[in-house]
Amino acid sequence: MENIRNLDYFKSLNDDVMEEVGSLFREEAYEAGENIFLEGDKSKGIYFVLEGTVKVYKSSKDGREQILKLIYPGDSFNDVTVFVKDVNPASADAVTAAKIYILSRENIIDLIYKYPEISLNIIRSMAEKLRYLTSTIEDLSLKHVQERIAKILLLFEGKKLSQKIIADIAGTAREVVSRALKDFASKNIIKLDKRDIIILDKKKLEDLGY
């Protein structure tokens, strides 16, 4: 039940409703790098991350990826397939080992009819996702690469991000990210500590990214 309380859709619900919701979930586990679903396949429903990190992305014909969003515990993905079309609009992979709950389209719609407060949580969650995607489109269209990388570092401060992940979010090459990070480090804006990126001067990074 505590896992369900941490999911955005079901916050503030009473224990009886929580127990009913919990009985509807199917749990799945994935290893790091394992595919969860592919774009164009029939959707199983809404996915909720309990543990680990998941990336949702689009792929080009030549194999390049554009990460749409990184999903962390408590957040959901593939929501739109419940309300618009039951085909996955993008692909999803586990970045780290991940534990996931799945709730079918039929079950979530039944819950919305029975408990209208859930629909308010869903609207709030989807509005945040729309705001994020709008910001991503703006960044890709209007910001220079270094500005995009600076903003990514700020958005995901404290999270472990590989240079490839940063490149796939920024829509650029890994080598470009490496050069940008070394440049930031030379100006004492960040510190590169093995695989960790530590922000030293948040103000300078904000000036670059926003």
Buried b (16+ CB within 10 A) or exposed e, 130-144: eeeeeebeebeeebe
The predicted structure's pLDDT at residue 126? 84
Q: Flag whether pLDDT at 103 surpasses 90.
A: yes
Q: What is the dihedral of CA 34, 38, 43, 48, to 10 degrees?
A: 40
**Residue 121: both structure tokens together:** 């949580």
**8-state DSSP, 9:** G
More confident call, 185 vs 7: 185
137 pLDDT higher than 80: no
pLDDT confidence of residue 39? 93
pLDDT at 143 over 90: no
pLDDT score, position 94: 96
- For the chain, give the percent of residues with pLDDT over 90: 46
Mean pLDDT of 55-81: 89
Q: Enter the tokens of residue 24.
A: 């509807």
In 115-201, which ranges are continuous DSSP H helix?
116-142, 145-155, 163-170, 174-186
Question: What's the pLDDT at 78?
Answer: 93
Class of 2-130 per CATH?
mainly beta
Above 90 in pLDDT, residue 171?
no
Count, in order, helices (H) and strands (E) of the chain. 9, 10
Q: What pLDDT does 14 receive?
A: 82
pLDDT band at 210, cuts 50/70/90?
low
- 85 Cβ partners below 8 Å, 6+ apart? none
Average the pLDDT over 96-123 and give the result: 90
For 37-51, 134-148, 163-177, which range has the lowest pLDDT when averaged over its residues? 134-148
Centre a 10 Å sphere on the Cβ of residue 108 and count the other Cβ atoms it contains: 20
**Tokens coding 182:** 């070394």
Quick one: average pLDDT of 49-54? 94
Instruction: Say if CB 148 and CB 125 are below 8 A apart.
Output: no
pLDDT of residue 63: 76
Tell me what pLDDT residue 117 has: 83
- Name the residue with higher pLDDT: 2 or 43: 43
- Dihedral of alpha carbons 99, 103, 108, 111, sign: negative
What's the pLDDT at 128? Answer: 86
Buried b (16+ CB within 10 A) or exposed e, 49-71: bbebbbbbbeeeeeeebebbbbb
For the chain, domain boundaries: 2-130, 143-209
pTM of this structure: 0.79
Residue 54's closest CA among 39, 22, 87, 76?
A: 76
The larger pLDDT score, comparing residue 74 to residue 194, is at 74
Burial class (CB in 10 A: 0-12, 13-18, 19+), 194: exposed
Q: Which is nearest to 15 in space by CA: 28, 27, 26, 4?
A: 4
pLDDT at 28: 96
Was domain 143-209 assigned CATH 2.60.120.10?
no
pLDDT of residue 142: 66
Q: What confidence score (pLDDT) does residue 16 get? A: 84
